[in-house]
Amino acid sequence: MKIFKFGGASVKDAESVKNVSMVLKSQGFAKCLLVISAMGKTTNELEKVVELYFKKDNYQTEIEKIKRKHIEIAEGLFPENHAVFAEINLFFDDVDSFLRRNKSPNYNFVYDQVVSSGEMISTKILSEYLNEIQFTNQWLDARDYIKTDNSYRDGNVDWKKTEEFISHLNTEICYVTQGFIGSDENNFTVTLGREGSDYSAAIFAYCLNAEAMTIWKDVPGVMTGDPRKFKDVTLLSNISYEEAIEMAYYGASVIHPKTLQPLQQKNIPFYVKSFVDPTKGGTKVGASEKNQSEESYILKENQTLLKISTRDFSFIAEDHMSLIFGYLSKYKIKVSLMQNSAISLALCLEDKFSTVDDLNEELQKVFKTEVVKNVSLFTVRNAKMENIDKFYQEKSVLLEQISKNTLQMVTQ
Q: Give the helix ranges, DSSP H, for 7-103.
A: 14-27, 42-54, 59-75, 84-101
**CA–CA separation, 338 vs 346, rounded Å?**
6
Half-sphere exposure of 73 (CA within 13 A, CB side): 28
pLDDT in tens, 36-94: 999 999 999 999 999 999 999 999 999 999 999 999 999 999 999 999 999 999 999 99
Give the span between the Cα atoms of 80 and 84, in whole angstroms. Answer: 9
Is pTM beyond 0.85 here?
yes
Please calculate the CA angle 35-37-204 and round it to the nearest 5 degrees: 25
Give the count of alpha carbons within 13 A of 255, CB side only: 34
pLDDT at res. 169: 98
What's the pLDDT at 252?
85
Q: What SS3 state is found at 68? A: helix
Report the CATH number of the 296-411 domain: 3.30.2130.10
Q: pLDDT tens-digit profile of 228-281?
A: 899 999 999 999 999 998 898 888 878 887 899 999 999 999 999 999 999 999
Q: Is 366 exposed, middle or buried (0-12, 13-18, 19+ CB in 10 A)?
A: middle
Radius of gyration of the chain (CA): 23
- Give the residue-averaged pLDDT of 98-105: 97
2-217: what fold? Answer: Carbamate kinase (3.40.1160)
Distance CA 280, CA 275 (A): 9
Per-residue model confidence (pLDDT) at position 249: 86
Report the distance separating Cα 44 and Cα 368, nearest Å. 36
The domain limits of the chain are: 2-217, 296-411
Cβ atoms of residues 50 and 189 within 8 Å: no
Same fold, 2-217 and 296-411: no
Work out the pLDDT band at 342, boundaries 50, 70, 90: confident
CA dist list (Å): 235 to 213, 223, 272, 273: 19, 4, 11, 11
Q: Is the pLDDT of residue 195 over 80?
A: no
Residues forming a β-bridge with 306:
347, 371
For residue 382, pLDDT beyond 80: yes
